[in-house]
Amino acid sequence: MAEINRLEEAYNWNITRLADAFGLHRDTVRKRLKEAGVVPAGARNNANVYALKDAAPALFSETRVVEGMDPCRMHPGDRKDWFQSEVLRVKLEKEMRLLVPVEEAHREMSRLAKAVASGLDSLADLLERDAGLTPETIELVEKSTDALREMMYQSIIDDDEALDE
């Protein structure tokens, strides 16, 4: 093992040691250091050594995933990997039923809206027959249910218009 005279030299590593420490191939380490323009901090036993504080960011700056990263700004290989991972993520979420196709969601919402509208339509008749409410009260119930149906309809229309914009 090389003799270290100063504490700072303990953090100056050669390409082999960097590769071993980070689980990378020596050629990968060499290429990334060169691409990042990291200059050797010195030499030990006729081998260049690099300051760990300079080498580590250079080794992992391209491969680190940053939330909100723009795929258009990635290198082509990284962009391809990112899109493939997104396709697989969406596929998994569909299989786990975390994502539902839009047609299925629309169909289920339509069924729900029809069931609610049908219930509202028959509510006045049900109350008149089973509860014995007066015609004035039944008229008030019909106005309330009509207003509720109109409000539901308007909400659906407003949502559709917002999606079209």
Cα-to-chain-centroid distance, residue 139: 50
Compute the half-sphere exposure of residue 157: CA atoms within 13 Å on the CB side of its CA. 6
Res 18: pLDDT: 93
Pairing of strands 47-51, 42-44: antiparallel
Mean pLDDT across the stretch 113-117?
Answer: 87
Reported confidence tier of residue 3, pLDDT bands at 50, 70, 90: low
pTM beyond 0.95, yes or no: no
End-to-end, the C-alpha distance of the chain in Å comes to 68
- Which letter, b or e, does each residue of 5-26 get, where b requires 16 or more Cβ atoms within 10 Å of its Cβ? eeeebebbbbbebbbeeeebee
